[in-house]
């Protein structure tokens, strides 16, 4: 096939438009999954990804139009696609190291807006160039396919439609097929190969660039092999499981003391199983006060709902300390639910529901205790932080029922995300109390319509027969502080939880960076005890 026949046929050019549009969206979704374990998957990070990619595409459109007018040789376009393919294949291999290096550099230079700056620079350096190359496709193809003015509108419309249809498939395939099935790294490789094959077919037809094609496929093959055992947390050596689901990056770490589930490679514990201790030393211990505040501590067959089950730390503790409780655990991520029995010994008596927490709640019965534990760094689901949601929780509590909410971003500044949550909850529940967890940044909030909830709690404590449990509950009782209603209210219409959460995360990171910078300044790198 000669290049003239290839261009006149147009179907190959249409295929180029289709698969380039598909690849753009696949790379965008891959970008979100590559960045999420390091920076979260909040709306803030998505905004940075989308904005950066739109910049790349705009630059590519301008550049592609100019070079097509200057030299309308299709070989130039397919060389750009070949280069983009190699770059995209290299992302899984090099991306994690670039993110680590960029994060370290930003940490050394600034103490504010770390997440925004580090994620923006990572996205800029890793993704702008290949997507700019893909952005040159449409204006170049317009040049090759439009032959006269009689049907130029139809041709351009057809190219736009093919690009859009490809983008639609490029959205659904990674999300529902490739990422949960074979992972982020393999997803990059798959779409890299598609682009490389387009270029290969073109250069075979014109009998050119055989060496360039061979080298490109060799590099893609090497990157593919290097990504077979891909790990986001490449520095960890105690991982027993690392994988991905539709919703999360998943990491299970095990040592002599515990098994931990985390959805972030840098920090955070979503669930934990202690091997040799009764209590975790974390917020789960404090949350165990909720059944006793509801008068269900000594009651058989109490009803407990956990929104944000994770792998079941709180559920396991309730099953261990309470008398045959009926526990419903709701977890939106099916893979996390599977890990609960595989690594965390979740009791079979716990009823696991794979569903969105708010949707499940709207169709549920009433409970003695409802725990809200769906908040994960700045990726707080806004629909589970509003007046409307907490009103729904109140409606699904029994007469003396208690809601406990785990808030994991304590801040010393006014107007923080926790201030908003406290004010919002206090506007719904007449009685609410907080307990600052001894270690970490978590705070537990207990709320009820029962004005005697603390009296009930004290009475229940006296009946606890386990000394360690009684001591833990007394610790909670001593730390309780009343919550007063304020004006910082979150609603379904207005709940800027990502922005509020990002401020607290930046504050926490800033404090940590300031601490380590002082050590380096006073003692040098030797002062860092890794």
Residues serving a catalytic function are 373
Q: 482 near 433, Cβ under 8 Å?
A: yes
Contact 106, 509 (CB under 8 A): no
Residue with tokens 């590099």: 219
Our CA angle for 58, 113, 492, nearest 5°, is 80
CA angle 391, 394, 399 (to 5 degrees): 155
For residue 411, the tally of other CB atoms under 10 A from its CB is 19
Q: Do residues 379 and 46 lie in contact, with contact meaning Cβ atoms separated by under 8 Å?
A: no
DSSP state of 175: I
Surface-to-core class of residue 274, CB atoms within 10 Å of its CB (0-12 exposed, 13-18 middle, 19+ buried): middle
Measuring CA to CA, how many Å separate 409 from each of 208, 271, 370? 58, 17, 20
Paired tokens of 393: 């929780």
Query: How many C-beta atoms lie closer than 10 Å to residue 302's C-beta?
Result: 23
Instruction: Tell me the DSSP string of 36-100.
Output: HHHH---HHHHHHHHHHHHHHHHHHHHHHHHHHHH---HHHHHHHHHHHHHHHHHHHHHHHHHHH
CB of 411 within 8 A of CB of 378?
no
> Do 174 and 186 touch, CB atoms closer than 8 A?
no
């Amino acid at each position: 096939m000669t290049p003239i026949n290839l261009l006149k046929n147009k179907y190959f050019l249409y295929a180029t438009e289709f698969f380039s549009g598909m690849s753009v969206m696949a790379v965008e979704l891959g970008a979100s999954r590559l960045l999420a374990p390091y920076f979260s998957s909040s709306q803030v990070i998505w905004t940075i990804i989308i904005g950066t990619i739109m910049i790349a595409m705009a630059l590519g459109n301008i550049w592609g139009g100019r070079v097509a007018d200057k030299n309308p040789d299709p070989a130039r376009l397919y060389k750009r696609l070949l280069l983009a393919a190699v770059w995209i294949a290299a992302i899984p291999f090099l991306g994690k190291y670039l993110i680590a290096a960029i994060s370290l550099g930003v940490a050394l230079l600034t103490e504010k807006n770390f997440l925004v700056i580090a994620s923006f620079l990572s996205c800029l350096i890793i993704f702008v160039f290949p997507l700019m190359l893909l952005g040159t496709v449409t204006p170049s193809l317009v040049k090759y396919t439009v032959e006269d003015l009689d049907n130029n509108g139809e041709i351009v419309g057809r190219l736009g439609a093919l690009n859009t249809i490809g983008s639609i498939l490029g959205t659904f395939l990674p999300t529902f097929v490739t990422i949960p099935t074979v992972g982020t790294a393999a997803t990059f490789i798959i779409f890299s190969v598609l682009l490389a094959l387009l270029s290969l077919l073109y250069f075979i037809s014109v009998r050119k660039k055989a060496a360039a094609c061979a080298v490109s496929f060799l590099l893609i093959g090497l990157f593919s092999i290097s990504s077979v055992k891909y790990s986001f947390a490449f520095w960890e050596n105690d991982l027993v499981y690392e994988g991905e689901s539709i919703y999360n990056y998943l990491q299970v770490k095990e040592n002599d003391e515990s098994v931990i589930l985390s959805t972030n490679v840098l920090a955070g514990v979503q669930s934990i199983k202690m091997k040799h201790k009764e209590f975790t030393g974390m917020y789960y211990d404090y949350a165990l006060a909720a059944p006793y505040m509801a008068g269900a501590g000594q009651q058989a067959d109490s009803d407990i709902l956990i929104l944000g089950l994770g792998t079941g730390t709180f559920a396991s503790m309730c099953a261990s300390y309470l008398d045959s409780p009926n526990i419903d655990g709701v977890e939106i991520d099916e893979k996390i639910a599977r890990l609960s029995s595989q690594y965390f010994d979740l009791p079979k008596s716990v009823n696991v529901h794979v569903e969105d927490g708010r949707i499940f709640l709207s169709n549920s019965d009433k409970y003695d205790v409802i725990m809200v534990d769906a908040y994960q760094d700045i990726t707080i689901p806004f629909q589970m932080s509003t007046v409307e949601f907490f009103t729904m929780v109140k409606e699904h509590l029994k007469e003396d029922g208690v809601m406990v909410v785990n808030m994991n971003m304590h801040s010393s500044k006014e107007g923080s995300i926790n201030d908003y949550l406290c004010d919002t909850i206090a506007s719904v529940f007449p009685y609410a109390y907080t307990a600052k967890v001894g270690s970490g940044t978590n705070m537990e909030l207990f709320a009820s319509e029962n004005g005697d909830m603390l009296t009930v709690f004290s009475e229940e404590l006296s009946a606890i027969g386990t000394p360690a449990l009684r001591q833990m509950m007394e610790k909670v009782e001593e730390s309780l502080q009343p919550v007063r209603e304020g004006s910082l209210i979150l609603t379904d219409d207005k709940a800027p939880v990502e922005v509020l959460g990002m401020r607290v995360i930046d504050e926490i990171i800033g404090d940590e960076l300031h601490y380590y910078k002082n050590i380096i300044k006073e003692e040098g790198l030797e002062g860092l005890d890794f």
